[in-house]
Amino acid sequence: MKRALPIAVAVVAFLAITVIATRWIGNDTAERADVERLLEAQLAGDPAAMLDILDCPDEACRELVAGNAARMRGSGDLKIALYQSQTAHALRSRTKPTRVVWFTRPQETVVQCVLVRRTGNVLAGASVSLLRLSAPLIDRESSCP
């Protein structure tokens, strides 16, 4: 009986840590999936689909989305070469840009920034929102503002 209590405590602690880690990693996966869907919609030239994914805060954002959809429309499969999220592994609310380097076979490399907002925390639950997608960066080596 003396051994059963420490084993039970260890099992409960392990399960609690597993649940927290799963939620934490799940937010990173959700963010990347949303960014991928956003870029796919942009590649398809579909501003309405892009606006369904983005929480555009103003008219300037919506105009940028329409311009990006028209300018970046293309064909081929989207390939993400580099994904640099400043909100990755966030334990609490945070709003920061994510730098995405992507390409399709016939196109050259494109670098864009996505403003990402994470709200909540790992324990209470968190959500991910995409707020803005930049125009392609001219200097492909620059970081997101």
Instruction: Write the pLDDT tens digit of every residue in 5-46.
Output: 777 777 777 877 676 666 666 667 789 999 999 999 999 999
pLDDT at 24: 60
Instruction: Write the pLDDT tens digit of every residue in 48-84.
Output: 999 999 999 899 999 999 999 999 998 888 999 999 9
Give the mean model confidence (pLDDT) for residues 99-125: 86
Domain coordinates of the chain in residue numbers?
Answer: 4-133
Global confidence as pTM: 0.82
Three-state SS string over the chain comes to: CCCHHHHHHHHHHHHHHHHHHHHHHHHHHHHHHHHHHHHHHHHCCCHHHHHHHECCCCHHHHHHHHHHHHHHCCCCCCEEEEEEECCCCCCCCEEEEEEEEEECCCCCCEEEEEEEEEEEECCCEEEEEEEEECCCCCCCCCCCC
4-133 has which CATH code?
3.10.450
pLDDT at 145: 80
